Amino acid sequence: MAAVTDFDRALAPVYHQDRENKYGLVDWLTTVDHKKIGILYGAAGLIYFLIGGLEAVLMRIQLALPDQNIFIGDTFNGLVTMHATTMVFMAIMPMIAAFSNYFVPLMIGARDVAFPRMNAFSWWTFFFGSVLLNSSLIFAEFPAAGWTGYAPLTSKGITPSQGIDFWWAGLTMLAISSMVAGVNFVVTILNMRAPGMTLMRVPVLAWMMLVIQFLLAFSFPPVAVGLILLAFDRTFGTVFYEYTMGGDPHLWQHLFWVFGHPEVYVLILPSMGIVSEILPVFARRPLYGQHAVIFSGIFIGFVGFGVWGHHMFTSGMGPIADAVFASTTAIIAIPTAVKIFNWLGTLWNGKLSFPTAMLFAVSFIPLFTIGGLSGIMHANAPLDLQQHDSYFVVAHFHYVLVGGAIMGLFAGFYFYMPKISGKMMSESLGKIHFWLFAIGMNVTFWPMHDLGNRGMPRRIYTYPADAGWNVDNLLATGGVVLMAIGTLIFVYNLVTSVKGGRDAGRDPWDASTLEWLCDSPPKVHNFDFTPVVYSERPLWDHKYSPDMAISVPTQAEEIHMPSNSWKPMYVSIGILMILVGLLLIGTLPFSWLLSIAGAITIIASLIAWVTEPV
């Protein structure tokens, strides 16, 4: 049996240009290394998860008892809006970006992404956009129209607050970031695969990342248009959402949900990919029906574009549109079922062990199933007329988002941190985290089904004592305490493990894909030699089927890695200037000069970008 230590013998490649791992401030600001960018995304995602969680905690405090007066009116609505916007766009999305940045190139045996500087540009655009969005609290007040920002509540006449302006400006930057990243990763995954890695040998996580990059690239433009129209309405007096001028508020809903529904699959598919990577490792057998799992992911991506109307059953689209959207929505249960059953098939007959990563991955299955099954209830249009905008929906999407997406991402952290830091995370703390979080999330979100059934609408800051919602709300608030403690333990575990954990070695889990072939943490150039791939489990076959061992070349490769650059950040700053200039129109005279300066910054930095030696 060949061993992973074989790879220690590989000769380091010969660089054509110096490049080493340095961690000074400038190195972080100018980095184009996919691994460092991944770490930046991950850190930002975690911090925003804490902030979004804190906002949830404040909401739950207000809702713990009936008739409370702690956060009322638009203060509460601002918390709801920023909680969701933060969690969706600034916590889960960057965590997904963290995994795709760090691991997709490793998984497919590449040395970096296709366009490293464009990658840095995506990161900085995300970063400035998220800061811009959150700075609304400092300069104005939180946007308070819900994360769905339905027109005409967002129009200037009804909500003059500048919070909404920060919202559209920030989201526009996040949209640009995601579209560019989408293009970059589509190319990376399609074109940068190691020799021999046919599409069907691409690991499932990388596949799911490929699907979501398409979703990002194609679903963000509609909402970008929606936001642009909103921005024009608010700054230049256009009348897109002005009903007095014939405008139709449904336009926004369509533009938003054409994006919004594919977006929820953007949030879940990576976690499904992570689960598909982890289950086989700890069952010690291949993923059951790998091709079916991949194709069902693609199918979900396609169908996901045709179901957006299920968020609008109560809006009066008419029975025919309702019927079409309801039926297509239900179809998504089929590819999802294929995934669930193949995971069960993977566990069945396996030799299961349960470190923390596996606990999270396994818990994904029942928790996501609960959320999916309530989704199927929503897909029933007549029933959804009752459930829409009630806490039943809140229960549905937290089961898929927290029980699905977040559980999967936690699994990913426990599974992949040893590769990133080279150190193991503590298993005992991990298990405490798991139990607190798993129990807490059920205690919080399960009663919300009941609240919805009992007629409690969502986004309300108070409720009367005699409506029969008291027990459930108190339970829901109690559960958050468990989740919060669990999360803090996780952060502690993560931070301390980076310095103090046990050494991980190349392949701590006896895994099967290429990322476990390189060092932990990987060298700047990832692989000392480009591995050649003969199956979908190259490393496993190296270890367990002697005739498929990856042989280590005896001579060093010659490579060239692109060097650091300031230009991506400059271009992002240019975009930030343009948007800030626009959102200040009407507040600050001549603010449009800032926009012009921004455009000039962009052009100048781009010229420098193209002519820069790399």
Partner 1 sequence: MAKVAQARSPYAVLVRSSAKSLRFCLSPTTRWAGRMLRTIQPIRLPDWYTRQFGLLSPARTGSTSRKSLLSPVLLIAAIIAIAAVAGCSTELAPRDTHATISDSGNISSFFYKMLLYVDIVIGVAVFGFLAVAIVRFRRAAGDDSLPPQNHGDARLELIWTAIPTVIVVVITIPMLVGLFQLAKHPDQNQKIIEIDVTGKQWWWDFTYKSGTANGLQTANEVHVEANTAVVMNMTSSDVIHAWWIPRLTGKRDATPGRTYPLYFTPLEPGIYDGQCAELCGASHAVMGTKLFVHPPAKEVEVEYAGKKYTLDSYETWAREQMASSVAPATPELEKGAKLFRDKTCPACHLVKGLEGAESAGQSVTTGPNLTHVGSRMTIAANTLLNTPQNLAKWIQDPQAVKPGAKMTKIAMTPDEAAAIAAYLTSLK
Partner 2 sequence: MSADLAATAPAEMAHDHAHDHAHDHAHDHDHDHDHGHADHGHHAVVENNFMGQPNIKLAMWAFLGSECMFFGSLIGTYFFYHGKALVEPMPDKVFSIGITSISTFLLLMSSLTMALGVDSMKQKKRDMARNYLFLTALLGAAFVGFQVYEFSHFVHLGLKLSTSLFGSTFYVMTGFHGGHVTVGVIWLTILAVLIDKGKLNPVKLPINVEVAGLYWHFVDIVWIVIFTFVYLLEFIQ
Site for ligand HEA, residues 63 to 92, rule: CB under 6 A: 80-81, 83-84, 87-88, 92
Smallest CA-to-CA distance from 265 within 301, 226, 318 is with 301
Alpha carbon distance 43, 91 (integer Å): 10
Site for partner 2, residues 23 to 42, rule: CB under 8 A: 32
Task: Assess whether 159 carries a catalytic annotation.
Answer: no
Alpha carbon distance 415, 522 (integer Å): 15
Structure tokens at 518: 């390189």
Is 261 a binder of Cu ion (CB under 5 A)? yes
Task: Assess whether 178 carries a catalytic annotation.
Answer: yes
Q: Which of 172, 271, 336, 565 is catalytic?
A: 336
Is 333 a binder of ligand HEA (CB under 6 A)? yes
Q: Which of 344, 465, 498, 607 binds partner 2 (CB under 8 A)?
A: 607
Is 273 a binder of partner 2 (CB under 8 A)? no
| DSSP helix/strand/coil, 69 | coil
Smallest CA-to-CA distance from 488 within 433, 527, 533, 528 is with 433
Spell out, one character per residue from 120 to 159, where the chain touches partner 2: x when CB under 8 A holds, - when not: -x--------------------------------------
Q: Which of 34, 35, 60, 193 binds ligand HEA (CB under 6 A)?
A: 60
Applying CB under 8 A, which part among 76-84, 85-93, 359-367, 556-564 lies near partner 2?
556-564
Alpha carbon distance 205, 100 (integer Å): 9
Task: Assess whether 147 carries a catalytic annotation.
Answer: yes
| DSSP helix/strand/coil, 502 | coil
Q: Which of 337, 465, 471, 596 binds ligand HEA (CB under 6 A)?
A: 337
Minimum CB separation of residue 310 from Cu ion in Å reads: 6
Is 236 a binder of partner 2 (CB under 8 A)? yes
Alpha carbon distance 333, 319 (integer Å): 22
Compare residues 39 and 357 and give the one whose CB is closer to partner 1: 357
* Binding residues for partner 2, total number by CB under 8 A: 76
Is 398 a binder of ligand HEA (CB under 6 A)? yes
Alpha carbon distance 405, 397 (integer Å): 10
Task: Assess whether 291 carries a catalytic annotation.
Answer: no
Smallest CA-to-CA distance from 173 within 474, 462, 583, 506 is with 583
Minimum CB separation of residue 216 from ligand HEA in Å reads: 15
- Dihedral-angle region of residue 397 (phi above 0 means left; psi in -120 to 50 means alpha; beta otherwise): alpha
Task: Assess whether 310 carries a catalytic annotation.
Answer: yes
Residue 394 contacts residue 452 (beta carbons within 8 Å)? yes
Smallest CA-to-CA distance from 598 within 28, 130, 169 is with 169
Task: Assess whether 34 carries a catalytic annotation.
Answer: no
Q: Which of 55, 112, 233, 242 is catalytic?
A: 112
Radius of gyration of the chain (CA): 24
219 binds, among Cu ion, ligand HEA, partner 2, none (CB under 5 to 8 A by kind): partner 2
Is 225 a binder of partner 2 (CB under 8 A)? yes
Amino acid at 167: W
Smallest CA-to-CA distance from 540 within 509, 585, 562 is with 509
Structure tokens at 150: 């339905």
Q: What residues act catalytically?
A: 83, 112, 147, 177-178, 261, 263, 265, 276, 310-311, 336, 339, 458
Question: Which spans of this chain sit near Cu ion (rule: CB under 5 A)?
Answer: 261
